Amino acid sequence: MLIVKLLEIDNGFSTLIYEKSGGKEYIYLAFYDDKELEDLTSRHIFFSSKDKIPIENIQDSITRDSGVNLLIKREDLLHPFVSGNKFRKLKYNLVEAKRQNASRLITFGGAYSNHILAVAAAGYENNFQTTGIIRGEETQPLNPTLAKAQNSFGMKLYYANRSSYRTKSKEDLLDMLGINCRHTYIIPEGGTNTLAVKGCAEIVEDLQIDPDFICCSCGTGGTLAGIICAVSAKTKVTGFSALKGDFLKDDIEKLVNACNNNTYINWEVNNDFHFGGYAKFNDRLIEFINHFRTSHGIPLDPIYTGKMMYGIYALMKSGYFKKGNTVLAIHTGGLQGIEGFNQRFGKLIRN
């Protein structure tokens, strides 16, 4: 472990620590006061990741026939459990939680939520206790996502019936469950807030290329909002919604306005590839995901990135992208959910 930079921030210290582990390179953003500098086991914020995130070129008969230069940024490689956009969304939320001297993180999500597991893992690595409010009734044995969150990372799980989860405010829900909120930092479902948008903007801030299109999957819209705020006006940003309905556009506009009050016209939400709604799928999607993994060595999940890549390929075939266009797809992670998906539906997605 090697300290590579030390900056004073808010009467404390921000330290970048370089480390190699398992053949991979990581940079950690750590916070120490002057009494803690000698103890490198003290709490740190594990958010700055690998020095460079690889961008891979995808070549096959579809890209050749369409003349499109298709690239994919492997944000899924940021961290084994806090990967992709979850890593980005949590970065500044954890910094803020530490600034507020919170000792516990509380968040919300479904039983197979990438976000729930990411908060559990990030909290564990940063000495925060974590609490997850899970939509729906408790089911035993726990699925792989909740089992890891609880057993590997110590997250305390509470369950709320779907009616209460849907209709009650966060505060009322926590009160109903008897949860003490002293010294806590609350992160919304999916992790999206203005700090998350700030973190997601960094997905594209270090690009050494100037693509014609940037594509990413959309759930709550925070990732797309961050990208919109950070790219040049000549780059078209396309979000592929994982949800049925056209409400995301309004949500994203509000997030962008909250971020910097600017108006952007170089973006869109594509609602044509949700496959019937959140977590819905069919044989064509599964076949595409397995073929892509076999052909390119890149795993895709069936909830988000699989649908986005399927949509990109459909648009290449239809001529939406022009010959010579560079299209950058953002791999937002979510691969942890494949184990639970296969457990529910059979081993549909090959390793």
| CA dist 220 → 124, 142, 226, 247, 308 (Å) | 25, 25, 12, 10, 15
**Direct distance between the N- and C-terminal alpha carbons of the chain, in angstroms, rounded to an integer:** 33
The rounded mean pLDDT for the chain is 87
- Asked, as a colleague might, if the bond just before 141 is cis with ω within 30 of 0, I would say yes
Q: Are 202 and 174 in contact (CB under 8 A)?
A: no
Q: Report the alpha-carbon angle 226-124-4, nearest 5.
A: 65
pLDDT in tens, 85-108: 999 999 999 999 999 999 999 999
Q: What is the predicted pLDDT for the residue at 40? A: 34
For residues 330-349, average pLDDT: 95
For residues 222-244, average pLDDT: 96
Tell whether the model's pLDDT for residue 150 goes beyond 70.
yes
pLDDT in tens, 267-319: 999 999 999 999 999 999 999 999 999 999 999 999 999 999 999 999 999 99
Which domains are seen in the chain, by residue range? 2-32 (no CATH), 55-84+194-345 (3.40.50.1100), 85-191 (3.40.50.1100)
How do 213-218 and 326-330 pair as beta strands? parallel
Q: What is the predicted pLDDT for the residue at 291? A: 98
Tell whether the model's pLDDT for residue 216 goes beyond 50.
yes
